A and B are shown apart, each in its own frame.
Chain A
Amino acid sequence: MNTGPVPIREARPSADRSRPVVTGPRWRAWLEERLGLAVLEKAILGGEMPGGASLWHTLGSVAAGLFVVEAVTGIFLSLFYAPSVQTAWASVAYIQDQLPLGWFVRGLHSFGSSALVVVAGLHLLQVLLFGAYRRPREANWILGLALFGLTALFALSGYLLPWDQKGYWAKLVEATITGSAPVVGGAVQQVVQGGTAFGNLTVTHAFAAHALLLPAAFVVLLALHVYLYRKHGPTPKWSLTAEQIAARTQPAFPYQSVRNASVSLFVLTIVTCLVLSHHGAALESPADPTSSYLARPEWYALPLFQLRMYFEGPLELVATMVIPGVVSALLLALPFIDRAPTNRPSDRKRVMAAVGASLVALGALSAIAIAKDARDPAYAKARAEEETRAREARRLAEKGMPAEGGLAVFRNDPLNHARDLWDQRCSGCHGLTGLGGDKGPDFKGYGSRAWIRGFLENPEAPLFMGTAKIDRGMKSVQGTPEELDDLTEMVYAQTGAPDADQAKAARGHALVDQKDCDSCHELDGEGENAGPNLKGRGTLAWVEAVIADAGQGRLFGEKNKMPKFAGKLTAAEIEDLARFVLSQKTAN
């Protein structure tokens, strides 16, 4: 029986080779024991660059970095965005124009997404050039293509979210293309857009896809992509020999990492400059399903847009489905088709030629599309109109959006608001059509020489005071056509119109006494008489005064039959209405 002392088990093995030896400060050892940071550190910062670090190998990291920028800015934007037909445009306009730095965050998100497409595309080309898709990296090539596809879906779904003209119409075209796919197209379209037509579910679906589904899928695929990259390591440049590769190999950290970070900063600086110079991303006017908008896709979809022009009728599917489908299939199958002995591009001439030809084709199609629009005056005109409309909508949105959202913003325009007031308060008696009012004058062309001349010639015509049935109203003015012209000009000059002929107006003034106008009308702006004081007749203030209280002594006095609106309408509403009436001078 062993009676010797039981050996005390050591609390810590003195030389546990499974754990990395931690040197350095005690807090590091403390953390290491609990969290195993060294393992994490090795996983993140470990790895080698066979053949040495290079700028070629930064592209994947930069794309991943841009994805993080998209995620961060996207989360901030989602805190202020409201996905529905009524609120989408309104909340984006609020972010863009009212929240401090909102335009910058949105701009970073938008230009950052374009940069992501560019960098991911360059990454794809670099992989093609280096032959990095070849055995044993086939799976990672396919993952990369899938990530590229997700990037495209991000762009498609994100484009729609502001529910402005360009987002709405671009998405409508894409949805229709989806629907045109054989067999399942219609069903896919209905599921994606949440119904047979665009509506609230289209916005909620696009938002959920853009902010939840796609990011989740992207993160998973990206993690697998990085894992396989670390498993197989980077593909060194084809020109290096095995000895050179071995001799030049560097640890990825810090040699490759510092290049990755620097290029990321460089790209983000360009993006920031674009954001600043454009004052953020464009926001067009709210989606108007009844307009005929000249829809153009975002720049990276222009080649497809142009390609479609060459295929008409049933052949359209060739451009929208067949060609993109064949190209995608070829790309996916590439590692299995390419049987070249080495990674040298010279050994892979057919692949290089196909890539080169595709690039030329993409460039040429884009150039044709851009050149065609640049030459088209109708396109320039439509763009200019849209820009004006967008500016107007965004200016009006700052007054607060009506609950209907979207196009209802134009009701904030005083003239449109006044039109509503007119319909409620004025249209019962007055006309606007030139056919006469029911109980008062018709204002079509009000303030024009023709209207005044017509009034002077026959005040009791149905277009003027006829339907008001005023007791002992104004009598027709008798005189030669020249005299009537002069009197018309005198009244016209009272409106303050800059094109009034002052000499003619002065002659008209001289006729006031002769034609007996002054027995009923004063011209000093204060005096009261049987008819209205004509000083400033037809100015904004005068029309406002009539709407507020037409029964004032200096206006229609006791003969007045029009209700008083002061107290019923606010001063601002009366002003809007007066402007509306005056706008009838030139309205059709």
Chain B
Amino acid sequence: MLTAGIGALVGAIAVIPGLGLLAAPLRRAIVRGAGQPLRVAAEQDVKPQKPIRVTAVGEVQDAWLRLDHVTVGSCWLVRATEGAPIRAFSTICPHLGCGVDWNDKTGKFDCPCHASSFDLEGRCLSGPSPRGLDELEVSLDTHEVLVRYRRFRTGSPKKEPIG
């Protein structure tokens, strides 16, 4: 028993700190991106009823690495009428994370993977998606559209940000 006890102590010294190291990703975000408003388009490029797909380029911190100009994600910019405020929806389908496309003929956003469809305001019209498209925070800076890009947990009716 004594031998086993001492042996266990030796093992614990080697293993427990290692488990602490292993658990690090549970306690901190390893990949951290954006969070900042990023310029995605000029205001005039967003025409009524004609959503445009834009990419948000920003800074990403991935473990030790920092990248200054990487694509953080993409979103659809939408405005209902001329002069109406511009809204931004993440292109990530809230169902299982495929990229939704704008269908000009039907005037809807369609998910190519599992056929969820969404209207111009992001509401889910049909298909398995548990919630509407995820809206992102938009701001304007002298005719430039800025979007605060974020990711949300997919597959849940609640819109919960990740990271």
Q: Interface of A with B (CB < 8 Å)? A: 65, 68-69, 72-73, 75-76, 79-80, 87, 90-91, 93-95, 98-102, 104-105, 108, 253-254, 257-258, 260-262, 264-265, 268, 272, 397, 399-403
Contacts and interface: CB of A to CB of B under 8 A. Distances in A.
The 6 closest A-B pairs by CB, nearest first: A400-B66, A76-B18, A94-B64, A261-B6, A101-B20, A90-B64
B28 to A, nearest CB: 8
Given A99-B21, A99-B24, A261 B66 contact: no
Interface string B1-27: 011001101110111011011101001
A399 B21 contact: no
B14 A108 contact: yes
B15 A72 contact: yes
Contacts, number: 85
B2 A258 contact: yes
B67 A403 contact: yes
B63 interface: yes
Contacts of B64: 87, 90-91, 93-94, 98, 397, 400-401
Interface in B12-67: 13-15, 17-18, 20-22, 24, 27, 61, 63-67
Contacts of A98: 64
B66 A402 contact: yes
B15 A253 contact: no
B6 A400 contact: no
27 contacts: A68-B14, A72-B11, A79-B22, A80-B63, A90-B64, A91-B63, A91-B64, A94-B63, A94-B64, A99-B24, A100-B20, A100-B27, A101-B20, A101-B21, A102-B24, A105-B18, A105-B21, A254-B3, A257-B3, A261-B3, A262-B6, A264-B10, A265-B6, A272-B13, A400-B64, A401-B66, A403-B65
A564 B18 CA distance: 53
Contacts of B27: 100
A261 B20 CA distance: 24
Contacts of B10: 65, 69, 261, 264-265, 268
A254 B2 contact: yes
Nearest to A75: B18
B7 A400 contact: no
A258 B20 CA distance: 29
A258 B10 CA distance: 13
Contacts of B3: 253-254, 257-258, 260-261
Nearest to A68: B14
B46 to A, nearest CB: 22
Contacts of B15: 72
Interface string B118-156: 000000000000000000000000000000000000000
Contacts of A72: 11, 14-15, 18
A399 B6 CA distance: 42
B24 A100 contact: yes
Given A72-B14, A268-B10, A400 B61 contact: yes
B18 to A, nearest CB: 4
A260 B22 CA distance: 29
B22 A76 contact: yes
B59 to A, nearest CB: 8
A254 B14 CA distance: 23
Given A100-B24, A261-B10, A73 B61 contact: no
A90 B65 contact: yes
Contacts of B63: 80, 91, 94
Contacts of A403: 65, 67
A422 B55 CA distance: 29
A65 B11 CA distance: 9
Contact of B66 (A76, A101, A399): A399
Contacts of A254: 2-3
A278 to B, nearest CB: 15
B21 A76 contact: yes
A272 B10 CA distance: 11
A260 B66 CA distance: 47
Nearest to B32: A400
Contacts of B9: 265
Given A98-B64, A253-B3, A261-B3, 14 more contacts: A69-B10, A72-B18, A90-B64, A104-B17, A105-B18, A254-B3, A261-B6, A261-B10, A264-B6, A265-B6, A265-B9, A268-B14, A272-B13, A401-B65
Given A69-B10, A272-B13, A102 B21 contact: yes
Contacts of A87: 64-65
